[in-house]
Amino acid sequence: MSDESVQPERISEAEHAVMEALWERSPLTAQEVCEEVCGPRGWSLATVKTLLSRLVAKQAVATEPDGKRFLYSPKMAREAYVGTESRRLVDRLFGGRAAPLFAHLAQNEALTEDDIAEIEALLKELKS
């Protein structure tokens, strides 16, 4: 159902929470999305409906009529979204270069030994 070529407008943190619910399981009704995200965030069903409407307008979510309600599904894969957002972050904060990002993380002790080992393994894999 998701289309990895879809590149919607940037989505907010609140909209991202709705997307996570849809990536986990879809299609969902607005009520079902609310069951996933409203409690932890203190949101109402009206808030979720507003966020879903915004996501539809941004072409990040598709709707399908189901009787008197709508079913919502993501139009892009989570992996595609993460890739796009990662690229935006590196471009915006580190001049498009990943090395300064890793240096920043290492200097601020945001990387564990396991993280460093995993990055090293990925770099070796990319080289071969």
Q: What is the pLDDT of residue 7?
A: 55
Residue 74 or 6, more confident:
74
Average pLDDT over residues 26-50: 96
From residue 31, alpha-carbon distances to 38, 120, 126 in Å are 10, 44, 44
Helix axes 78-94, 98-107, angle to 10 degrees: 80
Could you tell me which residues come within 8 angstroms of residue 121 by beta carbon, excluding any fewer than 6 positions away?
none
Question: 4: pLDDT confidence band, cut at 50, 70 and 90?
Answer: very low
**CA-based R_g, the chain, Å:** 18
